[in-house]
Amino acid sequence: MTSIKSRPLILVGIDAAVATLTEKYLSEGSLPNFQQLIHRGAYTRATSLFPGVTPINWATICTGAYPGTHGITDFSVLDPGDPLNGGRDGFIRDTYQVESIWEAALRSGLKCATLDFPGADSRMHPNHLWIADRGSPAGVTKYALRNLSCLITPDLQLRDAEPMEKVNGKFQFKLNPVFQSGEGPLLTFEIRKDLQDSYGVSANIDNADEEFFLKENLMSRWLWGNFAINGQTHQASFRLELTHFDPDHSSFAIYISQITVPEFVTDPPEMGRYLVDTFGPFIGYDGARAVDRGWVTPDHMLNEGYYKALWQANTAKLLVQKHGYDLVLLKWHLIDHIQHSFWGGIDPLSPWFAQSDNEKCEDLIRNAYQAMDAMVGVLVPLLNEEVTLAVVSDHGHLPHLKAAALNNLLLKESLIQLLPGDLIPAQVDWPNTRAYGGPALGHIWINMKGRQPQGCVEADDYDNVRRKVILLLEELRDPETNQKIVERVMRRENSDGIGLWGERVGDIVYWMKPGYSGDFNWTPLSRDGEVLEDLIKEREGFAEYGEGKFIADKFQSVHGCGDPAARLGFGTEEAILAMAGPNIRSGSKLKDVPNLTCVTPTICASTDLPLPRQSEGVVLGPWIKK
Ligand SMILES: [Zn+2]
């Protein structure tokens, strides 16, 4: 294979950087590095492809293709013949129907690295450096031994925290791995005073001579423990924080960061050790989990997200500067998590607004954008070395007003039938169910005989059933306003105008009015049959994504349920795109807002990287120097 010559490119993927907020913080002067990037290059808003959610739009960004072509329709993707409650992971290469920009580069002999980038779930080629993970916000895979966790003294109550055992006045916990089978170190904690006579907790790993002292609400330095996995000992890193230390100094909680093994973080493994030695241990934080459970404060989530931002940016810089990488793609997720959890505090339109601490939420969200700015700050100096830098987001956010459980609508009209019993999630009686929504947002399927495994709708009844569902959606109204809440309903054969075609598109495609969500996982099928849910009513219990329980109230902002150009309150569904580099014209403006299929063609036109085979988007011509 002969190598082509191209200019190095770094693509910084900022999940859910919202155009309105980015522009607000730019105009305040809060994003000086991003401002410098724009000053040296170009900036535009960009619309995502429907539904504007994470896997679809990163697939669009990195292939240049429309969803109908790349085949990623949501977190879960249905192929013909799949059961309607099934689905394939929308973040893995096997689900993609087309080539990505890094695959095109690899087949041309170039060196590529992917850092937590959707569609890159494993190493693909000797010239590919894979760095954790596959870009899914939903959690961890092979690089971590444990996700972030929390230990408590037996008298404390904290959701999902693990109690320690009290032995001779000390507290012990065997830190065994969760994602692999094996054995971890023994942690021992003891309440003590330090030399300044203030209380804290001393900690010890595996009864070593060395002890270290934890002070309340301060993260420890990085610690290392030995983990035995498959007959081999691996050193893994983590940090501890003393929290919930009661005034009597008798009970406490210990937060533990994600536990990772350097060699598991990359493929090839030796790069992981090198990067950890250079920049410190890797974490693929998921701070929302810890904040939801009250283990740590939101600032903590910000700090871990910030740490990952700098780790990723420094790694990208090193790979291009010292190791001759032609293409580095990274994706970073903090802004999406922070907005989902705290948008209500900044937007007067939000049902959460009056209940939240406005200033605190403003600071949290601004700080998350400033972490993005810090990443850009690491990379902007590379513009002096003929490197092209692209910063792009996959969608925006809107305030979340109300949630509709659309499968409950089908249940009320007997299009869905349930099996008896009160299991959660409600069990569908498939041979008697005629239509079903999901797994992808915006898609409803007719349970066709001969197509679905337990299909019951005959071919000559298809149009009837479909017409009935369409009418139900079109007539659905918010009783408070009497306004329709499903803004657009299409038959699958008419959805090509929004980029959806092919076998993976539902029989009916719909989108919601801005601010209303219609997500089948947030508001799943339930026996009560309630269709429109008030988000801030008091609810019992706590549910996780995928458990078949109501979780819409965990999302103060929403994206992807409706028009990719929608604007509402302080939000917009619109994403951002900025580029600078030797072949990017500085200061040029576009007449129209492009969609995200333009990213890969424009990158390739400005760097001479090869275009992926099925790329369909247009080059942003005014941005390219002749
Ligand atoms: Zn996203």
* Complete DSSP assignment for 138-176: T---TTEEE-SEEEE-TT---TT-EEPEEETTEEEEE--
pLDDT tens digits, 309-319? 999 999 999 99
**Residues 463 and 485 occupy one common structural domain:** yes
In a domain, 314, yes or no: yes
Report whether pLDDT(5) > 80. Answer: no
**Residues 418 and 524 occupy one common structural domain:** yes
Cα-to-centroid distance, 53 and ligand 1 (Å):
5
Cα-to-centroid distance, 480 and ligand 1 (Å):
31
pLDDT tens digits, 9-67? 999 999 999 999 999 999 999 999 999 999 999 999 999 999 999 999 999 999 999 99
Q: Which residue carries 């508001």 as its tokens?
A: 523
Report whether pLDDT(72) > 80. Answer: yes
**Residues 295 and 382 occupy one common structural domain:** yes
**Residues 427 and 519 occupy one common structural domain:** yes
DSSP letter, residue 74: S
**Residues 544 and 578 occupy one common structural domain:** no
Cα-to-centroid distance, 19 and ligand 1 (Å):
13
Report whether pLDDT(210) > 80. Answer: yes
pLDDT band at 355 (very low <50, low <70, confident <90, very high): confident
Q: Which one is predicted more confidently, 288 or 214?
A: 214
Q: Write the CB contacts of 460 (distance below 8 Å, at least 6 apart in sequence).
A: none
Nearest Cα to Cα of residue 593 among 620, 559, 558, 562: 620
Cα-to-centroid distance, 397 and ligand 1 (Å):
9
**Tokens linked to 49:** 């492809």
Cα-to-centroid distance, 17 and ligand 1 (Å):
9
pLDDT of residue 102: 98
Cα-to-centroid distance, 625 and ligand 1 (Å):
31
Q: Write the CB contacts of 502 (distance below 8 Å, at least 6 apart in sequence).
A: 68, 69, 71
**Residues 376 and 291 occupy one common structural domain:** yes
pLDDT tens digits, 547-581? 889 999 999 999 999 999 999 999 999 999 999 99
Cα-to-centroid distance, 177 and ligand 1 (Å):
29
Cα-to-centroid distance, 544 and ligand 1 (Å):
18
pLDDT of residue 139: 67
Lowest mean pLDDT across 387-396, 444-453, 485-494, 521-530: 521-530
Cα-to-centroid distance, 296 and ligand 1 (Å):
24
Cα-to-centroid distance, 51 and ligand 1 (Å):
11
Give residue 600's identity as a one-letter amino acid code: T
Cα-to-centroid distance, 343 and ligand 1 (Å):
15
* Span 214-220, average pLDDT: 95
Cα-to-centroid distance, 222 and ligand 1 (Å):
30
Nearest Cα to Cα of residue 141 among 126, 170, 168, 121: 121
In a domain, 560, yes or no: no
Which of 229, 259, 289 marks a domain boundary? 259
pLDDT band at 474 (very low <50, low <70, confident <90, very high): very high
Cα-to-centroid distance, 185 and ligand 1 (Å):
36
**Residues 110 and 240 occupy one common structural domain:** no
Cα-to-centroid distance, 143 and ligand 1 (Å):
21
Cα-to-centroid distance, 111 and ligand 1 (Å):
26
Q: Can you tell me the distance from the alpha carbon of 412 to that of 340, in angstroms, rounded to the nearest whole number?
A: 30
Portion of the chain with pLDDT greater than 90, in percent? 89
DSSP string, 113-147: EEES-TT--S--STTEEEES--S-TT---TTEEE-
Beta bridge partners of 517: 403
Which SS3 state, helix, strand or coil, does residue 24 take? Answer: helix
Which of 203, 231, 259 marks a domain boundary? 259
In a domain, 216, yes or no: yes
Report whether pLDDT(292) > 50. Answer: yes
In a domain, 63, yes or no: no
Q: Can you tell me the distance from the alpha carbon of 451 to that of 463, in angstroms, rounded to the nearest whole number?
A: 15
Cα-to-centroid distance, 527 and ligand 1 (Å):
31
Report whether pLDDT(2) > 60. Answer: no
Q: Which residues span the domain enclosing 14?
A: 9-44+99-140+272-326+334-395+571-587+606-614
* Contact call for residues 173 and 165 (beta carbons, < 8 A): yes
Cα-to-centroid distance, 15 and ligand 1 (Å):
5
Report whether pLDDT(412) > 70. Answer: yes
Report whether pLDDT(3) > 70. Answer: no
pLDDT of residue 241: 96
* Span 599-613, average pLDDT: 97
In a domain, 57, yes or no: no
pLDDT of residue 1: 44
How many domains does the chain contain in total?
A: 3
In a domain, 419, yes or no: yes
Cα-to-centroid distance, 451 and ligand 1 (Å):
31
Cα-to-centroid distance, 75 and ligand 1 (Å):
10
* Contact call for residues 19 and 37 (beta carbons, < 8 A): no
| CATH number of the domain residue 535 falls in | 3.30.1360
Which of 259, 280, 308 marks a domain boundary? 259
Mean pLDDT of the chain: 95
Q: Can you tell me the distance from the alpha carbon of 563 to that of 54, in angstroms, rounded to the nearest whole number?
A: 15
pLDDT band at 542 (very low <50, low <70, confident <90, very high): confident
In a domain, 87, yes or no: no
In the chain the first and final C-alpha atoms are separated, in Å, by 30
Report whether pLDDT(488) > 60. Answer: yes
**Residues 128 and 225 occupy one common structural domain:** no
Q: Can you tell me the distance from the alpha carbon of 423 to that of 366, in angstroms, rounded to the nearest whole number?
A: 42
pLDDT of residue 324: 96
Cα-to-centroid distance, 617 and ligand 1 (Å):
20
In a domain, 76, yes or no: no
Beta bridge partners of 9: 327, 388
Cα-to-centroid distance, 558 and ligand 1 (Å):
11
Cα-to-centroid distance, 346 and ligand 1 (Å):
20
| CATH number of the domain residue 357 falls in | 3.40.720
**Residues 534 and 409 occupy one common structural domain:** yes
**Residues 152 and 136 occupy one common structural domain:** no
Cα-to-centroid distance, 167 and ligand 1 (Å):
46
Cα-to-centroid distance, 608 and ligand 1 (Å):
28
**Residues 418 and 355 occupy one common structural domain:** no
DSSP string, 271-301: HHHHHHHHH-------HHHHHHTTSS-HHHH
CA-based radius of gyration for the chain: 25
Q: Which one is predicted more confidently, 438 or 611?
A: 611
Cα-to-centroid distance, 138 and ligand 1 (Å):
11
Helices (H), 343-453: 358-379, 406-412
Cα-to-centroid distance, 74 and ligand 1 (Å):
11
**Tokens linked to 301:** 């989530």
* Span 235-258, average pLDDT: 96
Cα-to-centroid distance, 624 and ligand 1 (Å):
27
**Residues 135 and 152 occupy one common structural domain:** no
Cα-to-centroid distance, 332 and ligand 1 (Å):
9
Cα-to-centroid distance, 67 and ligand 1 (Å):
15
